[in-house]
């Protein structure tokens, strides 16, 4: 993963200009900074893609170098993908100060196997997969780990139950549910099968009665032997 992204200054243009830029193997990008005018640049999409698919993703801190001159540290603020091909076609970078607090989104990572799943066949419902936090750039966690090992059926963990480093402040609503263990799904017997099962003994009984009646009728038609004189 590159720690430095090489950028070239560009003059903002329309769709045709950006299309020619992409054909040349580059994509348009914009660098935003506090108290500064946005700067239009072009960058290699492979460098940006490597950052987005790294373990820290959009929370990765890197340096933008313009024409050999190092700029401030930055993060990916936003990006745009081609709706058909899925290729990266635009990126926005945000310059950051290492001594200034940031508000950002961090993924939640589940740790352990819940007791309710392992022993009772419950199902883990991973409700909230990321939360908002505030911290210095150097303290950004790769993920927020949540241990579910002790959870039983119907137990849950809310945002307020999460413990993080003192340097990381959680901003999300404390009542939001992160994960819960729901009871196993019970198989329901179809109504038709229940009706057929209930009617079956009656059919057998009726069939037996008919059979017995036929036997009696056959006996009545059979001639009795004459008594010997």
We report the CATH number of the domain holding residue 29 as 2.40.240.10
* Per-residue confidence (pLDDT) for residue 12, from 0 to 100: 82
- Please say whether the beta carbons of 96 and 136 come within 8 A: no
CATH code, domain carrying 124: 2.170.120.20
Residue 227 confidence (pLDDT): 46
DSSP 8-class letter at 129:
-
Measure the CA–CA gap between 53 and 51, rounded to whole angstroms.
5
Same domain, yes or no, for 74 and 116? no
Segments forming the whole domain that contains residue 151:
102-182
Contact between residue 111 and residue 88 where contact means Cβ atoms under 8 Å apart: no
Report pLDDT digits (tens) over 86-97: 999 999 999 999
Does residue 188 lie within any of the structural domains? no
- Position 229 scores a pLDDT of 42
In a domain, 198, yes or no: no
CB 110 within 8 A of CB 144: no
The residues of the chain scoring below 50 in pLDDT are 203-206, 209-210, 227-229
The Cβ-side half-sphere exposure at 188, using a 13 Å CA radius, reads: 3
């Amino acid at each position: 993963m590159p720690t430095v992204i090489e950028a070239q200054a560009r003059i903002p243009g329309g769709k045709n200009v950006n299309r020619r830029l992409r054909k040349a193997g580059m994509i348009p990008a914009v660098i935003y900074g506090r108290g500064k005018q946005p700067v239009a640049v072009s960058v290699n999409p492979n460098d940006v893609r490597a950052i987005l698919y790294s373990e820290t993703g959009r929370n990765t801190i890197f340096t933008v170098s313009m024409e050999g001159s190092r700029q401030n540290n930055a993060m990916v603020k936003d990006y745009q993908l081609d709706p058909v091909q899925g290729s990266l076609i635009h990126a926005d970078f945000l310059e950051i100060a290492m001594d200034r607090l940031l508000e950002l989104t961090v993924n939640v990572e589940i740790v352990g196997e819940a007791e309710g799943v392992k022993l009772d066949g419950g199902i883990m419902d991973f409700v909230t997969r990321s939360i908002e936090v505030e911290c210095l750039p150097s303290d950004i966690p790769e993920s927020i780990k949540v241990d579910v090992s002790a959870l039983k059926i119907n137990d849950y963990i809310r945002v307020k139950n999460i413990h993080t480093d003192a340097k990381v402040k959680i901003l999300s609503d404390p009542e939001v549910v992160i994960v819960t263990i729901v009871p196993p799904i019970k198989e329901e017997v179809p109504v038709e099968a229940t009706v057929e099962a209930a009617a079956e003994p009656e059919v057998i009984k009726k069939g037996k009665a008919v059979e017995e009646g036929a036997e009696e009728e056959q006996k009545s038609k059979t001639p009795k032997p004459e008594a010997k004189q």
